Amino acid sequence: MSALADTFSRFIARQTGARSARVIDFDKLSGGAIQDNFGLTLELEGGSRPGRQEFVVRQDAPSAVAESLSRPQEFRVLQAAFRAGVTAPEPLWLCEDPEVSERVFYVMTRAAGSASPRKLVKADFSKEQRRNIVRRLGAELARLHTVKPPQESLAFLALPDPGNPALSRIALYRRYLKEIGEPHPVLEWALNWLEDHVPEAGPTVLCHCDFRTGNYMMDGDQLTAVLDWEFAAWSDPCEDLGWLCSRSWRFGADDREVGGVGDRQDLLEGYREVSGVELDPAKVSYWEVMALVRWAMIALQQARRHMSGEQRSLELALTGRMVAQMELDLLNQIQELEDGK
């Protein structure tokens, strides 16, 4: 660990032009099976960032997932989001030099607070505080969605094919289900439903694609950073809102539709205030159904990673047994949508 801390602090000293960098604190942060995150506090002497500085260093973990972005790609997405005014850690420096470290890493600023979903969902907030948090979530997405293709720095992100992101997702999940080879009649049925109810495609924008409670930091009732950008993609704006509202991410607070925190109406209002765009709630509901299918696909793939021996893990194995939850939610949600609830 200390060798890593030295590697990172020497790198940061060089980037900032500091005369010296003293390690005050270095620890591995929790979360992230795909990458390792380290908290690094330095006392920098001179240079462009003198004094006590708190950083997060994000590095590939030995077991990377094919579907997610590489560290350099993620760094560029984070740069684009940060430039668009999203409250995200400031991306500072990317290091791809094997002379410095065998694994690619990048350094960003460290945000205050916690990303714990349980803590946030259980917090004793007033109605007003909940409304403000949810409006803020809408505002953050609205800022992110101002980033539109083409973007030279994001050329590695594929455009939805065919032109409608929903159809593109359905085709992808059909392929996954075929590859997994396990019978899942509820998922087949839900994919048929999604195919039969495809909404008109919205604008194609930069979507976070994992924007949910647990992936943003809160300090009290203030959002301090949107994290985990490795699934970012060009898609329909409603994909991000649907994922955030999905029943899977309410952490027991099922009646609070937006991430177990607050109401959907406030989310849409927060979004409209910043973007001037009035999103169709029915379209968000459609993408919520898509979100349940997507999470079921991810859970099936995680179980496969365990079963194939690629990565034996009790956590991955148990995730596979969660699929029936998404399936029951799909049966209920589609019925409710049809009943006009």
Partner 1 sequence: MINQPETRDLLAEARRVLLDSIAPDLGGERKYQALMIANAMAMAMRELEQREQGQPEETDHTVRAYLAEHSIDGTAAEAEADLARAVFERRLDGTDPALRSVLRTLTEARLRINNPGFLER
Candidate ranges 7-15, 50-58, 181-189, 201-209; the one touching partner 1 (CB under 8 A): 181-189
- Choosing from 33, 100, 322, 337, the residue that interacts with partner 1 (CB under 8 A) is 322
CA 319 to chain centroid: 18
Binding mask 282-321 for partner 1 (x = CB under 8 A): --------------------------------xx-xx--x
Residue 335: exposure state from Cβ atoms within 10 A (0-12, 13-18, ≥19): exposed
- Give the range of 6-14, 187-195, 219-227, 292-300 binding partner 1 by CB under 8 A: 187-195
Closest CA to 261 of 138, 133, 140: 133
Q: Which stretch binds partner 1 (CB under 8 A): 131-139, 185-193, 275-283, 287-295?
A: 185-193
- In angstroms, what is the minimal distance from the CB of 290 to partner 1? 16
Please tell me whether residue 274 binds partner 1 under the rule CB under 8 A: no
Tokens of 208: 């976070």
Give me the amino acid identity at 130: R
x/- site string to partner 1, residues 189 to 218, per CB under 8 A? x--xx--x----------------------
- 1 vs 314, which CB is nearer to partner 1? 314
Q: Least CB distance from residue 7 to partner 1, whole Å?
A: 25
Q: List, as own/partner pairs, every contact residues 117-124 make where C-beta atoms lie below 8 angstroms and the sequence separation is at least 24, other chains included.
A: 117/213, 117/214, 117/249, 117/251, 117/259, 117/260, 118/251, 119/218, 120/213, 120/218, 120/259, 120/260, 120/261, 121/213, 121/250, 121/251, 121/252, 121/253, 121/256, 121/259, 121/260, 121/261, 123/221
Q: Does 22 bind partner 1 (CB under 8 A)?
A: no
> Is residue 185 a contact point for partner 1 (CB under 8 A)?
yes
Question: For residues 222 and 325, which CB has a smaller minimum distance to partner 1 in the complex?
Answer: 325
- Choose between 201 and 331: whose C-beta lies nearer to partner 1: 331
Binding part of the chain for partner 1, among 32-40, 180-188, 273-281, 290-298 by CB under 8 A, reads: 180-188
For 184-218, the three-class secondary structure string (H helix, E strand, C coil) is CHHHHHHHHHHHHCCCCCCCCEEECCCCCCCCEEE
Q: Does 254 bind partner 1 (CB under 8 A)?
A: yes
In the bound state with partner 1, the residue whose beta carbon lies nearer, of 39 and 72, is 39
Q: What are phi and psi of 335, to 5 degrees?
A: -60, -45
Structure tokens at 11: 């790198």
- Return the DSSP state at 177: H
DSSP H or E segment with residue 91: strand 91-95
Q: Which residues bind partner 1 (CB under 8 A)?
A: 30, 183-186, 188-189, 192-193, 196, 254, 314-315, 317-318, 321-322, 324-325, 327-328, 331, 335
